[in-house]
């Protein structure tokens, strides 16, 4: 038992023993507090097991000592990544800019010309805003001034080249402009009203209403391609499917806070992977059945019961 520092002859033996027991319990509580503080504020890698406090009985707690036996451990060498800026992609075009000294400075005091012994290089990334220009299409007209077309009335009196095909006829929207707007909208998540502001900065007045209408024209123009994708994606041996929630504002007969679903299909023949996003109002199994109609192969999906039911359904 730890010494209490009290003359035992002046106390009842039972009282002296009780005081010693209390002091031992105090030492245990101190050790527990230190361990908990170490766990709370110490290194996260130094894990503490709460059951370790019962490894020793209270009467086995030894007083602290200043003598410690140090255990020798061997630390293996390790490599560390060199700090610094990551190099620019070598596929980016390089345009060299040489900053040289004058011809007079290349002359040594001894009269000989200095030799080039090396160079120092540095790289800076340059950004030039996208090129914006207007394509002015000119179609010359031709007519005969002598007969004014009366010699062959089956042919038009005035000849002119046909109008080039366009996604949106009689509009200023070129294929490159439409591509830019769609990429900004769906890849970079830039809404039409912000694109409208960007166009104003370069002197082009394109309203968000026009861009919204063009979006529908682009969809109609690409719809045959989407139909082809839906057929090709079913020719592969494996199909992956999942769905995620989305919310559509202003949808007819539906609340703005009501969840709708985007169904994802990924498949196609080997080496020709196709990914399709399909909007549906619900995640009912009938949607999966409709999307997979005509597919024969392995379906990989999560544990959602709606798609799991497909195991019991045969589709042509």
Whether residue 308 is found in the same domain as residue 242:
yes
**Each residue's pLDDT tens digit, 287-312:** 988 999 999 999 898 877 666 666 55
Distances (CA, A) of 273 to 172, 227, 239, 289: 35, 15, 10, 21
Whether residue 226 is found in the same domain as residue 190:
yes
Using only C-alpha atoms, what is the Rg of the chain? 41
CB-based contact 58:25 (threshold 8 Å): yes
* Residue showing tokens 């007079």: 104
Q: What is the pLDDT, as a whole number, of residue 68?
A: 47
Whether residue 240 is found in the same domain as residue 306:
yes
Domain boundary among 213, 234, 255: 234
Q: What is the pLDDT, as a whole number, of residue 4?
A: 52
Whether residue 197 is found in the same domain as residue 248:
no
> Does residue 265 form part of some domain?
yes
> Does residue 26 form part of some domain?
yes
CB-based contact 300:240 (threshold 8 Å): yes
Distance, in Å, from the CA atom of 212 to the CA atom of 182, rounded to the nearest integer, reads: 10
Whether residue 242 is found in the same domain as residue 302:
yes
Whether residue 249 is found in the same domain as residue 229:
no
> Does residue 299 form part of some domain?
yes
Backbone angles phi, psi at 50, to 5 degrees: -65, -20
Domain boundary among 197, 215, 234: 234
Domain count, the chain: 3
> Does residue 109 form part of some domain?
no
Residues of the chain with pLDDT under 50: 1, 56, 58, 60-61, 63, 65-68, 314-316
Whether residue 220 is found in the same domain as residue 189:
yes
State which residues form the domain around 229. Answer: 175-234
Whether residue 264 is found in the same domain as residue 296:
yes
> Does residue 211 form part of some domain?
yes
Whether residue 240 is found in the same domain as residue 308:
yes
Q: What is the pLDDT, as a whole number, of residue 228?
A: 95
Q: What is the pLDDT, as a whole number, of residue 302?
A: 84
DSSP 53: G
Whether residue 272 is found in the same domain as residue 229:
no
Q: What is the pLDDT, as a whole number, of residue 155?
A: 84
> Does residue 260 form part of some domain?
yes
Cα end-to-end span (Å), the chain? 86
Distance, in Å, from the CA atom of 55 to the CA atom of 113, rounded to the nearest integer, reads: 84
Domain boundary among 219, 234, 249: 234
What residues contact 205, with CB distance under 8 A and at least 6 apart? 199
> Does residue 138 form part of some domain?
no
Q: What is the pLDDT, as a whole number, of residue 101?
A: 93
Q: Tell me the whole-structure pTM to 2 decimals.
A: 0.60
Q: What is the pLDDT, as a whole number, of residue 315?
A: 47
Whether residue 13 is found in the same domain as residue 28:
yes
> Does residue 185 form part of some domain?
yes
Distance, in Å, from the CA atom of 228 to the CA atom of 26, rounded to the nearest integer, reads: 80
Candidates 268, 311, 269, 259; CA nearest to 288 is 311
Q: What is the pLDDT, as a whole number, of residue 149?
A: 75
Token pair in block for residue 251:
């949808």
**Each residue's pLDDT tens digit, 14-53:** 777 888 889 889 999 999 998 888 888 776 555 555 555 5
Whether residue 12 is found in the same domain as residue 54:
yes
Distance, in Å, from the CA atom of 16 to the CA atom of 12, rounded to the nearest integer, reads: 6
């Amino acid at each position: 038992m730890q010494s209490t520092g009290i003359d035992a002859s002046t106390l009842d033996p039972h009282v002296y023993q009780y005081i010693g027991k209390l002091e031992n319990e105090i030492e245990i509580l101190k050790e527990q507090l230190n361990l908990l503080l170490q766990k709370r504020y110490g290194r996260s890698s130094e894990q503490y097991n709460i059951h370790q406090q019962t490894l020793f009985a209270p009467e086995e707690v030894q007083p602290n000592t200043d003598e410690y036996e140090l255990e020798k451990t061997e630390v293996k060498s390790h490599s560390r990544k060199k700090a610094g800026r990551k190099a620019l992609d070598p596929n980016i075009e390089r345009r060299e800019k040489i900053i040289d000294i004058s011809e007079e400075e290349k002359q040594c005091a001894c009269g000989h010309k200095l030799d080039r012994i090396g160079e120092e290089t540095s790289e800076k990334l340059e950004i030039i805003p996208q090129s914006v220009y207007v394509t002015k299409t000119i179609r010359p007209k031709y007519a005969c001034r002598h007969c004014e077309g009366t010699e062959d009335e089956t042919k038009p009196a005035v000849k002119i080249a046909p109008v080039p095909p366009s996604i949106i006829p009689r509009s200023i929207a070129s294929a490159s402009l439409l591509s830019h707007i769609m990429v900004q909208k769906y890849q970079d998540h830039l809404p039409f009203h912000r694109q409208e502001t960007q166009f104003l900065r370069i002197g082009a007045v394109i309203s968000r209403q026009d861009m919204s209408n063009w979006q529908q024209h682009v969809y109609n123009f690409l719809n045959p391609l989407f139909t082809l994708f839906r057929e090709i994606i079913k020719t592969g041996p494996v199909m992956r499917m999942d769905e995620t929630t989305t919310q559509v504002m202003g949808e007819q007969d539906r609340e703005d806070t009501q969840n709708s679903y985007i169904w994802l299909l990924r498949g196609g023949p080997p080496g020709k992977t196709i990914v399709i996003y399909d909007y549906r109002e619900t995640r009912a199994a009938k949607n999966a059945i409709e999307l997979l109609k005509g597919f024969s192969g392995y379906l990989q999906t999560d544990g959602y019961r709606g798609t799991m039911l497909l195991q019991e359904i045969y589709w042509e």
